[in-house]
Chain A
Amino acid sequence: MQRCDRCSEDAVYLRRYSGQRMCSEHFLNYFEEKVVKTIKKEKMLQRGDKVGVGVSGGKDSLTTLHMLKNLQEDLDLEVHAIAVDEGVKGYRADTLGAAKNFCSREKIPLHVVSFKAGLGFTLDEVHKKRSPCAYCGVFRRKLLNETGIKLGLDKLATGHNLDDEVQAIMMNYISGDVERIARYGSGDGKGGFVKRIKPLAEMPEKEVALYALLWDLGASFAECPYAGGTLRSKVRDWINALEKDHPGIKFSILAGSRKMQPLLRNAASKELKKCEKCGAPSSGSVCKACLLLEEINLKGNETLI
């Protein structure tokens, strides 16, 4: 068996972009130290923060929750979990089950909000007009944010990993969305948005999966039935193909985008306005969620949790 570079245990991971081989203990140490470093560097948390974690029950959100739970005592945090049930048959039940098990095991309060209760329809019911993904993220963000405000959260953490970040960056390039590129990840937090943090933003997805597996977090590996064949999934495959031959390219894409952002911010200095309908921050006079709701023909200013 291949050995860890730092001790004589069997290696569980080869970090190709640095050439290091790590045993399970050294991998877990490395992972946790790096996440904590990212949190500090980006000033994601303050002592005494009330933090909500958007959980799906997958490896990314449970790893985020696990990390924040570990930091709870040190930073005097109050940690809550929020799960959004979009109502996707044969998928969410599985992932929500994983979230519920984890939260009850770790004694973390879990708040479940559903599309059905909050918006009046499930994603399965509404996806006829557009692709389901066109609604999913927008409404999920809306419900998470509204729940965050109701709970009085200081921060809202999500499980976005390096791969998610890099995919989003490339998607924004592809659609030429300069404003989005300029604003991406700048962590809003003003007028109507709970400040968002992404503690795993610098962790490759494969490392998150390994962390969740080694800790046995009980994450669900169920896939959303709508995920296949989307542009995003093709971008994902393409980036992974590049990463295989050029280890570290995901980090270069992230770093490159961060370098460009300040320049783009000047060029795309559109101020965020308040949505006329719901008051959420928006680049237009009506926010994306309200536009979609209008299209679906439902009242969008009421949300139950």
Chain B
Amino acid sequence: MSVFGLVPVRVEVVQEGSRKSLRLRKGDRIDDLLEKLGINRETVLVRLNNKVCVEEEILREGDKVEIIKAISGG
């Protein structure tokens, strides 16, 4: 438990072949995760536990978040 009494939520983030484990605040949504990663939600699609979803979903312990690039260059 952190000093502020917040229980962190751990999620697995998969992005362009790389995967990492991140700690978020309880109640954080996909929106918040993207913001923290510096990703504009207009440029990606997100799969939560293998299902495409909206960015308003609240993340829970153990969730797998796959970030797919929706815009292409060239």
Q: Which residues of A contact B (CB under 8 A)?
A: 1-2, 10-14, 21, 24, 56, 58-60, 91, 163, 205-206, 209-210, 213-214, 221, 223-224, 226-228, 233, 236-237, 240-241, 243-244
- Provide the residues of chain A in CB contact with B71, threshold 8 Å: 163, 205-206, 209, 236, 240
A sample of 23 inter-chain contacts (CB < 8 A) reads: A10-B51, A10-B53, A11-B53, A11-B54, A12-B52, A12-B54, A14-B54, A21-B54, A58-B72, A59-B72, A205-B70, A206-B70, A209-B45, A209-B68, A209-B71, A210-B52, A213-B45, A213-B68, A223-B73, A223-B74, A226-B74, A228-B73, A233-B73
List B residues 24-66 near A (Cβ within 8 Å). Answer: 40-43, 45, 51-57
Further pairs besides A2-B53, A11-B53, A237-B40: 13, Cβ < 8 Å: A2-B54, A2-B57, A13-B52, A24-B52, A56-B74, A91-B74, A213-B52, A214-B52, A223-B73, A227-B73, A233-B73, A240-B71, A243-B42
Chain B interface extent, by class: 10 to 19
- Provide the residues of chain A in CB contact with B68, threshold 8 Å: 209, 213, 221
Instruction: Please tell me if B69 contacts chain A, counting CB pairs below 8 Å.
Output: yes
Residue of B nearest to A208 (CB): B70
Counting from the closest, the 7 A-B pairs by CB-CB distance are: A227-B73, A224-B74, A209-B70, A14-B54, A12-B52, A240-B42, A227-B74
Check if B57 sits within 8 Å of A1, measured CB to CB. Answer: yes
- Docked Cα-Cα span, A285 to B7, in Å, equals 70
